[in-house]
Amino acid sequence: MEPVLVSACLRGVPCRYDGRGRASGAVAEALAGRRSVAFCPEVAAGLPTPRRPAEIVGGDGHDVLDGRARVVDDTGHDVTAQFVDGAERALEAARRAGCTEALLMPRSPSCGCGTLYDGTFTGTLREGDGVTVALLERHGITVRPAPRD
């Protein structure tokens, strides 16, 4: 079975910022016949569950890794270091398990692939990748957003 790194919340683990999981039939179907390696970068970096919602300000995950953007919560507290640390831990977990692919939570500042919230905390979306997505892709891991039910 080919392993795939999966956002832990998509496997039902209550680790999202709001303290909930997000398991779905579409995700289970996408993972059928594969060994999933559930991982939450934010929890791995020591952020609590539940926690304040966070968004990337000034760019996307690639910009965060390059020092041009930061991740802040809705009170303005900078959590960039935790998001970068979580991304590094996710990469380590993927390598350890032999994952060449990841299926991650859409719109998340860690796991969002292709679309993120825009940093204004208004629910507005824009193009871009989360910090974990950016780091995984830089190391040759293919990242896909999770399908929706």
pTM: 0.96
| Residues 11-37, mean pLDDT to the nearest whole number | 95
Average pLDDT, the chain: 96
Read off the pLDDT of each residue in 110-138 and give the average, rounded to a whole number. Answer: 97
Task: Let me know: does 123 contact 115? Beta carbons within 8 Å.
Answer: no
CA distances from 99 to 4, 34, 67, 106, 145 (A): 5, 11, 27, 19, 16
| pLDDT score recorded for residue 93 | 98
* 126 token code pair: 């824009």
pLDDT bracket for residue 22 (50, 70, 90): very high
